[in-house]
């Protein structure tokens, strides 16, 4: 993560922020000051909303981290990007149950926060948005609902894409399951691009391109990992007991030290694949 910097640790997990992330804060501040109501109240509301979003994303990613740690998986860090956050794991076992539970943990946190926020709303009530505008509690409820639903879209790198791969991997080897899941991701990415341009919601095409690129990156990482496993003498998928090496794309390049370094920069340190994953 050469394009990010560390800002501290929470529960022993390093928190990093991408270099572009502070630009979002600057943009919100400038936009608030140049808006129709540049009062201190509006500026403080907008800045508080941004930090609230930051906190919600952090809790979402911590949900993934705690679920991973429950399975003995080492968490490298959590990095905040302009489009969200990402928790990096040192080595996520290729087991459908583990992948599915770690993936669903993030949206589950949003579901809990949404329920709590909605419960407070029902108990104490909120001002009518047409009269008093959106409150911070209303924003909190909306963001958790939107984040939870959006992340369940079956497209990498969203959690729904990983849940889909976990479901597919029950009857397929990991490489094949990833290929199918990434193909589904590309359908959603294409739809985001088309719909975004037609509706002039230009953030959607940006997200669509990002989804397409991250899906390709995920497929590349899985293929390289299995080729590295073959290079270490491990030729069979420890989950499905199939031979992923024989089914890999013949256009995939051979394993080199440079490719392994790139893979480690994306997925974390590789363990010796001569040692099989524990069941």
pLDDT value at position 232?
65
From the list 70, 80, 66, the residue with the least C-alpha distance to 24 is: 80
Per-residue pLDDT at 259 exceeds 60 = no
Per the structure, the complete domain to which residue 237 belongs is given by 157-279
Please state, in angstroms and as integers, the Cα–Cα distance from residue 221 to each residue in 145, 207, 263, 266, 268, following that order. 31, 21, 6, 8, 11
pTM for the model? 0.76
Same domain, 37 and 162: no
Parallel/antiparallel/unpaired status of strands 4-10 and 13-18: antiparallel
Reported as a single tens digit per residue, the pLDDT across 19-75 is: 877 777 777 777 777 777 777 777 888 888 888 999 999 999 999 999 999 999 989
pLDDT value at position 139?
87
pLDDT value at position 263?
53
Same domain, 142 and 177: no
From the list 164, 220, 167, 203, the residue with the least C-alpha distance to 187 is: 164
Parallel/antiparallel/unpaired status of strands 13-18 and 75-81: parallel
Query: In 10 A of CB 5, how many CB atoms?
Result: 13
- State the average pLDDT for the chain: 80
Average pLDDT over residues 209-230: 87
For tokens 């409150």, the residue is 135
Same domain, 125 and 222: no
Please report which confidence band the pLDDT of residue 131 belongs to, taking 50, 70 and 90 as the band edges: very low
**Cα atoms in the 13 Å half-sphere on the side-chain side of 33:** 6
Same domain, 32 and 69: yes
Same domain, 127 and 190: no
Same domain, 161 and 139: no
């Amino acid at each position: 993560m050469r394009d990010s910097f560390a800002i501290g640790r929470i529960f022993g997990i390093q928190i990093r922020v991408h270099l572009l992330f502070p630009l979002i804060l600057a943009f919100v501040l400038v936009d608030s000051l140049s808006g129709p109501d540049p009062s201190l109240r509006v500026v403080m509301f907008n800045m508080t909303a941004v930090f609230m979003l930051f906190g919600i994303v952090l809790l979402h990613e911590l949900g993934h981290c705690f679920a991973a740690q429950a399975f003995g998986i080492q968490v490298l860090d959590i990095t905040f990007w302009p489009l969200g956050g990402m928790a990096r794991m040192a080595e996520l076992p290729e087991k459908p149950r583990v992948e599915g539970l770690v993936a669903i943990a993030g949206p589950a946190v949003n579901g809990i926060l949404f329920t709590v926020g909605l419960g407070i709303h029902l108990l104490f009530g909120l001002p009518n948005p047409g009269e008093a505008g959106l409150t911070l509690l209303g924003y909190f409820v909306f963001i958790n609902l939107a984040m939870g639903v959006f992340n369940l879209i079956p497209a990498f790198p969203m959690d729904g894409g990983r849940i889909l791969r976990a479901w597919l991997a029950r009857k397929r080897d990991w490489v094949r399951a990833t290929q199918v899941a990434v193909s589904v991701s590309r359908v959603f990415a294409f739809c985001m691009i088309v719909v975004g341009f037609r509706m002039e919601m230009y953030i959607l095409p940006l997200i669509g391109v990002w989804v397409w690129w991250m899906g390709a990156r995920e497929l590349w990482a899985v293929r390289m990992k299995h080729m590295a496993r073959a290079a270490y003498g491990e030729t069979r998928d420890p989950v499905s007991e199939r031979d992923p090496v024989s089914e890999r794309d013949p256009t995939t390049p051979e394993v080199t030290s440079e490719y392994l370094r790139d893979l480690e920069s994306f997925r974390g340190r590789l363990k010796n694949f001569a040692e099989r994953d524990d069941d």
